[in-house]
Amino acid sequence: MRLRLAGAVLLAAAAYYVYLPLPSGVSEPWKLMLLDALFRSFMRASDAAHSLGVCHRVRLLNRVVSWVEVIEARSSPTVKVTDSTLGGVPTRVFQPNGDSRLRRGVLYFHGGGWALGSAKMRSYDLLCRKMAEDLDAVIMSVEYRLAPEAVFPDQYHDAVVASQAFLSAELLQQYDIDPERLCVSGDSAGGNLAAAVAQELSLDDSLQVKFKAQALIYPVLQALDFHTPSYQQNQAVPILYRPYMARFWLQYLGADSSLEPVLLANNHSALDQRAISAATRSKLNWTALLPAERKKNFKPVVEEKGSPGVVGAVPGLIDVRAAPLLAEQEVLGKTPKAYVMTCEFDVLRDDGLMYGRRLQDAGVEVTSDHYEDGFHGCMVFANLPMMSSVGQRSMRNYIRWLDQNL
């Protein structure tokens, strides 16, 4: 009887910990709850280790990720998989087997808040392997440096160097890649790097070869407004809570973590911050850039007076290399045609929607792929054990777009 009672108590406690009220439209909520419970557990353990001075919270998280997810480069009958470098940056290469002929090429940047993840993770390995098979394309997944050891602009520089090497005549010839059929892509923080690379290299007239397309998967693109409608609507929706995103930004920009409440209150972008011009503010004015069905009844949060000198202390907040949404219209107009995936239940939804709108206004051909039941990170959950229907749908549609546009 006592064992049954203890079991019932433990089961109730586990259910209480796992259960989280979620919006009614989210895909397969119990799977998301389980995933979130696991992620929260790792986050709390890493926070405890950080507080005790054992190690930086990110290092512990990455150790867990490496133990659970990182796999060796293993070839299959259809795809040759090797670990190599691009301009000195570690890269996992997925090359279809078969006759030597020109193939499409995709350069991919993984997500993880510029601090977590790896091109060698099982989820990204499976994604790139499937892309190589379905597209008969060479996929190169970049292992850029991560915070806290590396901070902006280190990750950005790795992305640019790897991209320049990817576009070089020597590399294209070595892997039999068609110079007319190249795409840069990435998800979340990787989508940020892909967008920044697309902007930077579109301005480089010395390049003989350029990307034909950019494919951005729920990208993070700005750090001035943490009260867009999607940040307000989804601030407590897993797996990317609003405070997590502020923390990732501060780690990426090498800023003091004590600024987290400042960012969350939008005090860093208050009207008295002279470093933020009216022109800059217009580039993320969601009241003008978002459609009515996404704005709903949410109101802008714009402080008159904020914390002085934040932008001066953290200049990356308004650096277009870190925040591609802030780019000038003429720069956006030179970038290649774009695919932008967004999810309804994602704090970053409006970053992607605003960027798509600004690209269109600049004359760029844009395909907007929105998932009403999607959540942040869903596309990498297209395989077991955390397979989700929206993950499978989003991956299929992403690969289909690449097939039709490369």
**Euclidean distance between the first and final Cα of the chain, in Å?**
65
135 vs 93: CA distance, rounded Å? 15
Please state, as a whole number, how many other Cβ atoms lie within 10 Å of the Cβ of residue 258: 8
Which tokens in the block code for residue 219?
């990208």
Copy the structure tokens of residue 384. 């077991």
β-pair type (79-86, 213-217): unpaired
Q: Name the strand (E) or helix (H) holding 365.
A: none
For 6, other C-beta atoms within 10 Å of its C-beta total 10
Residue 9: both structure tokens together: 């108590």
What are the C-alpha distances in Å from 241 to residues 167, 226, 227, 238, 378? 36, 11, 13, 6, 14
- Told to judge if 370 belongs to the known catalytic residues of this protein, a careful annotator would answer no
From the list 36, 125, 346, 351, the catalytic residue is 346
Which of the following is catalytic: 202, 269, 376, 388? Answer: 376
Which one from 188, 202, 269, 388 is the annotated catalytic residue?
A: 188
Q: Are strands 366-375 and 337-345 parallel, antiparallel or unpaired?
A: parallel
* CA-wise closest residue to 362 among 225, 202, 220, 218: 202
Q: How many CB atoms lie within 10 A of CB 2?
A: 6
Q: Are strands 137-142 and 89-96 parallel, antiparallel or unpaired?
A: antiparallel
346 tagged catalytic? yes
CA distance 313 to 317: 9
Q: Are strands 103-109 and 177-187 parallel, antiparallel or unpaired?
A: parallel
Locate tokens 């992607």: which residue? 352
CB hemisphere CA count around 145 (13 angstroms): 18
Residue 181 φ/ψ, nearest 5 degrees:
-135, 65
Q: Is 376 known to be catalytic?
A: yes
Give the Cα separation of 118 and 89 in Å (integer): 13
Which residues are the active-site residues?
188, 346, 376
